Structure 1
């Protein structure tokens, strides 16, 4: 055990603590974080794929009441018959569509015999200075629209709604916030228009289906968590081997000459030892 005493030195103890902490983080934080993101992305991709291949259903089937929501049916194609409430229109600002800044136009839609839902009519590009361009008014008559169900977004801390260019503007599409602004109760999911719909503006496309690199990142963190203690053990073994070689080298070295005394040096100088 004395040969391993060097492991009790402060430098080795500090290194061991760092390796233990890193390994713990790899297995309990970093790898689960990336693998969890992969699971979430894969689930969303499956949900979108299912929604794209499913036929449209009446929105009242998924949102039968005013307080209904359908998070499990996000991106599902639905139809709704009713009319727009164009006098209480809201804009979502600082949106990005096809890599450029845009406003998304949000208008409540009263479904005949059903709830009032918020409809994302599409996007318009801002004018210079981030001003709102002229926006065509939605039709006032009763009509039928086809759209996709979407989940509302959480509000952004410190980003409060405000009025500019004659429109109430928000930073996120949030049911409670927009209901407060418009005074119109809204269902728990909103609708995003598909192409060629009454009242539609710039089309907002579907998300790109890509699982991303999260699975490989998660596996990498697991590998790092395994390799870190192995690396520490290798360096400790290399240090032990080096110390063994030094010990053998000292044992095999010839004994050093005995130092001469002063008398012997004087005798040698004046020839008394000849």
Structure 2
């Protein structure tokens, strides 16, 4: 009969505690990756839905600013990102900004950000699309198609403010930024801004559409399986070692030991 009384010894209790602790940590890491998978899958679902959904008015999705020039409105809800919206106003090319260091199809260039002033005097930043840098180098302004004049209606995807953005800086006769942060841009324009921006669905000629970057949810799903497999292997390993300890040495090993004990060294007889 196999006896497991040795599991109550301090040494094996320590092994068991360490095994359970390690397996618990691995299970929790798997749950964390599962949560990340759900979040990324939800974002991807919103991106897919936004490609064909009927656009809704911008003010139905995010609150308009009301405090006056140089301020921003309320932050949009997290689930509103990638919602297709429509907004009508007049472009203000005098306060157009180039967003540097943006990559589209493997090439680094600029996204063109132009304020669209609404009838009530507030404005929303519109990402009109991506352009390549000037062939003469970074110190030369790229070729940016002029914004249309008069009243226009823009349809596009709602994007939230990016973090750690700074004020626009003058470079080669045009304003540049690294990140699109309306709160940092608002003090440089004569109107209040929405705390979000609109990425145009249909860029004009001369622009390249900025694609929606989907999240790699499958990577997180793989991590879930990996951590939970490690947890199962850890528990199996403890059970395997405990079983080996309970069974003891294998019979063939015992037979080898007995034969080794019975064998005596052979000495040459003296002449």
TM over 0.5: yes
- Aligned CA RMSD, in angstroms, stands at 3.7
Gap runs ≥5 in structure 1: 258-268, 270-274
Question: Deviation above 6 Å: which 4+ runs of structure 1?
Answer: 1-7, 15-18, 251-257
What's the counterpart of residue 23 of structure 1?
23
1:133 pairs with one of 129, 142, 158 = 142
3-state SS of paired residue (1:139): coil
* 1:174 aligned residue: 181
Secondary structure in 1 aligned to 2:170?
Answer: strand
Q: Which moves more between the two structures, 37-46 or 107-116?
A: 107-116
**Unaligned 5+ runs, structure 2:** 66-72, 265-269
Show the counterpart of 1:147: 156
State the TM-score, normalizing by the size of structure 1.
0.74
1:88–1:108: 8 Å Cα contact kept in structure 2? yes
Whole-Å separation in 2 of the counterparts to 1:149 and 1:65: 14
Distance 1:152 1:46, change over 3 A: same
Cα separation, 2, equivalents of 1:20 and 1:212:
28
Query: Match for residue 128 of structure 2?
Result: 121
TM-score (structure 2 length as normaliser):
0.75
> Partner of 1:136: helix, strand, or coil?
coil
SS in 2 for 1:189: strand
The aligned runs of 1:104-253 (5 Å cut-off) are: 104-113=111-120, 115-127=122-134, 129-131=137-139, 132-155=141-164, 162-182=169-189, 184-197=191-204, 201-208=207-214, 211-238=217-244, 241=247, 243=249, 245=251
- The answer on whether the counterparts of 1:64 and 1:115 sit within 8 Å (CA) in structure 2 is no
Query: Displacement of 1:174 after TM fit?
Result: 1.2
Structure 2 CA distance for aligned equivalents of residues 124 and 95 of structure 1: 9
Rg (Cα) greater in structure: 1
Structure 1's 55 and 86: CA in aligned 2 closer, same or farther, altered over 3 A? same
Give the paired residue count: 252
| Bigger RCO of structures 1 and 2 (CA < 8 A, at least 6 apart) | 2
